[in-house]
A and B are shown apart, each in its own frame.
Chain A
């Protein structure tokens, strides 16, 4: 079973721990893993109220989370806790969230869309 790894020597912040749990749950389904196994890049996810961020690194089947935002990610997304929760629980479609400004994003939006397969609980 594929799991999201944590950068060596780090203990994930609360945001990272939550996202890891969601992604690990989704990755138990091999169909979800297939959707991301060929992806390459890095995505910064930030909770806007607290400013807390994590970076998800994708490298052809290997997924790793680290605390904080890296300088030049492939894609970036940011939302408040409640909106992040609503997106992760599937109550708000990520595209609708982007279009309505509840989710701010930049960079490679296609990558964001693809990783939503593992960031959104079914």
Chain B
């Protein structure tokens, strides 16, 4: 069953996939740091979504929708316009390519990402590990 992007059910589903993905666990076994996934409004979608993931040594300790962006001070912020995020989740564009071109941006401790690039890739793979339906 497809799950609505941006909903608590969606982040719960992502948490479940992260908890069972061996490639993610292996790649992120030294990963320390929480993050916001921020979906910014664009011409095709007017809402803003902020999703919070607390990732620690291959585990997902918390996953939830955030209503007040000041609630947390995560180590990383991954952000981009809705259309670009949707293309990644639809597997129409490669996440690395999106990051390199700047269509999706990452702010935070780059040293850790550089040490564990596969963790970032596997995190995105987990996001595409279940069927997502997008809001109109």
Contact = CB atoms under 8 A, between A and B. Distances in A.
Contacts of A15: 100
B122 to A, nearest CB: 12
A21 B117 contact: no
Contacts of B113: 85
Interface residues of B, number: 20
Task: Describe A's contact surface by its main secondary structure.
Answer: helix
B131 interface: no
Interface stretch (B2-10, B13-21, B91-99): B91-99
The main secondary structure of chain B at its interface with chain A is: helix
A16 B100 CA distance: 8
Contacts of B103: 14
B46 interface: no
Contacts of B115: 85, 89, 91
B114 A22 contact: yes
Contacts of A85: 113-115, 117
Interface residues of A, number: 23
B101 A49 contact: no
A47 interface: yes
Interface string A81-122: 110011011010000000000000000000000000000010
Contacts of A35: none
B114 A17 contact: no
B43 interface: no
Contacts of A32: none
A104 to B, nearest CB: 17
Contact of B102 (A11, A82, A91): A11
A12 B102 contact: yes
Nearest to A16: B102
Contacts of A88: 114
Given A18-B110, A25-B111, A81-B96, A13 B117 contact: no
7 contacts: A14-B98, A18-B114, A50-B96, A50-B100, A81-B96, A81-B100, A85-B117
Interface of A: 11-18, 21-22, 25, 47, 49-50, 52, 81-82, 85-86, 88-89, 91, 121
